[in-house]
Amino acid sequence: MAGPSAPAVIAKGLKHLDLDGHDLPPSPAPSSPSNGRKYALATELVYTDSGDQYNSSSVPIYQSATFKGGPGQEYDYTRSGNPTRTHLERHMAKIMNANRALVVSSGMGACDVITRTLKPGDEVVTGDDLYGGTNRLLTYLKENGGIIVKHVDTTKVDLVKQALSSKTTMVLLETPTNPLIKMVDIAGISAAAHEASPDCCVAVDNTMMSPYLQNPLDLGADVTYESGTKYLSGHHDLMAGVIGINNAALGDKFYFMINSTGCGLAPFDSWLLLRGVKTLAVRMEKQQESAMRIAHFLEERGFKVRYPGLKSHPQYALHNSQARGAGAVLSFETGSINLSERIVESTKLFGISVSFGCVNSLISMPCRMSHASIDPALRKERALPEDIIRLCVGIEDLQDLMDDLSQALVRAGAVRLTSDGFMALEVGDGETGKTTMVVDEP
C-alpha cells in the first residue's frame, strides 16, 4: 500500500498551526500581511489582514463564554481562549516585537501572572522607585510567600550587580520609573542578570513608554509587560494588561497561570483594546510634543522638572540610547506640600486622577495617591519628595493646557510675578506643612 503523499504529511504536521504560524488557537485573521512584509510601526498598529467570513473591516467580538463541540476543537471556553482575545494577542505580539503576547484583565494582573512563577526562597532584584501597586504585591510575596526581595537603585548598574547572585530568579524593572522619572539601563542589567544566573527572568514594566517608544525585548529583557489601560487603550475606558515574551516555555507558564486563574481579558475589552491601539502613534506623538513644551515651560520658570526629554536630565543620553521618544509623563517639585496641593486643586483641564496615558490631561500628587500605599518612612528612605506633582499630558490644545497650568500656579501662590511673567518661589519662600488630600490608587 502506498504511503501518504507529501502534501498530506505536511498538512498533518501543520494542522495545529494558526495563520501566523503559531501552534496556538487560531485568530480570525493574521495580524501581519500574508506576504510577510513588515510595515512601519505606525502602519502595523492599524493594519490587519481580514480573514473573517463576512470580510468585516473590524475584528468581530466573539461575545460568548462557551463554544459548541467536542474535545480537540479550537475553542471551548472563553477562560481558556477566545477568538477576539487571540487576535488581540497576535496584534500585540507584532507591535511588541515578541514571539507571543498574552492579555489579562489589568496591568497588575500581568505583574501577578509573571510573579506567580516564583517559588519560596527565590530572589527578586527590583528598583527603589516602583509603582505603588507593584511595591504592594512584592511586599505581600515577601511576607507571605517566602520570596526574597532586594530593592536597589536600579539606575546604577554596579549596585544591581552587587545584588545579583546565582540565586536571583527574577529582575523586575521599570524605566522610566514612576514618579521620579529615573532611567534604567535595560541592556546592561539584562546582560549582568543572565551572567549571574543564566535562568534569571528579566521583566520590564514598559507602561510609561509603550511599544511605540521602547521595546525591552530588543534590549535583552525576557519579558515586557504593561498596563493596557494606559497608552495602548488611550481612553481610560477599559482595564487590561499585556505580556510580551520570546521564550516559548515561559509563555506556556504564563498561559497556564492565566487559564488556571481565569484572568484573561474579556472579549469586549479585547475588542476595545484592539480599537484603541490603532491610534497609539498619533496620540503619543501629540502627547509627547506637548509634554516637551510644558517641561521646558516649567523648567524655564525655575521649577525642578523631571522629564527624559530635557537635556538637563542626568540620564538623558541613556534614555535616548534605548527609547525613541520621551513620552508624555513628567513631574516637578515646588518645595512645599501645601503649595503642591493647592496647584493640583486649582487646575481645570488637568483632572485630578491616578493613572496616565489617557487622551485627557491628568494631574496628581503621587505620595497622596498612586504611591500612598508605600509607608511614609519608606518613601523618605527612597528619596520620594512628598511635594512632587505628576503631570500626564493629553491631546488637548497646548496653549489651553499651558494657560490652565499657569493660572493654577498663580492661584496657588506657587510663583512670584515678574516683569516677564512669573517665576517659581525661591527655596524657603513657600509654605510647608501637612496636607489632607489622600486618594490611594486601588
Residue 131 catalytic?
Answer: yes
Distance (Å, rounded) from C-alpha 134 to C-alpha 275? 28
Residue 79 catalytic?
Answer: yes
Q: Which of 62, 131, 212, 307 is an active site residue?
A: 131
Residue 182 catalytic?
Answer: no
Q: Which of 79, 116, 156, 278 is an active site residue?
A: 79
Distance (Å, rounded) from C-alpha 350 to C-alpha 364? 9
Residue 390 catalytic?
Answer: no
Q: Where are the alpha helices (DSSP H) in 63-146?
A: 83-95, 107-115, 132-144
Distance (Å, rounded) from C-alpha 406 to C-alpha 148? 46
Asked if residues 118 and 223 have their Cβ atoms less than 8 Å apart, the reply is no
Q: Which of 100, 182, 230, 283 is an active site residue?
A: 230
| Max CA distance (Å), the chain | 98
The pair phi, psi for residue 266, each rounded to 5°, is: -70, 155
Q: Which helix (H) or strand (E) holds 195?
A: helix 186-196
At a CB cut-off of 8 Å and minimum separation 6, what does 363 contact? Answer: 343, 344, 347, 350, 351, 352, 353, 389, 390, 391, 392
Distances (CA, A) of 87 to 66, 92, 198, 264, 432: 17, 9, 33, 13, 53
Q: Which of 185, 205, 222, 387 is an active site residue?
A: 205
How buried is residue 158: exposed, middle or buried, by Cβ count under 10 Å (0-12/13-18/19+)?
exposed
Chain-centroid distance of CA 259 in Å reads: 22
Query: Which residue type sits at 135?
Result: N
Q: Would you name the residues annotated as active-site residues?
A: 79, 131, 205, 230
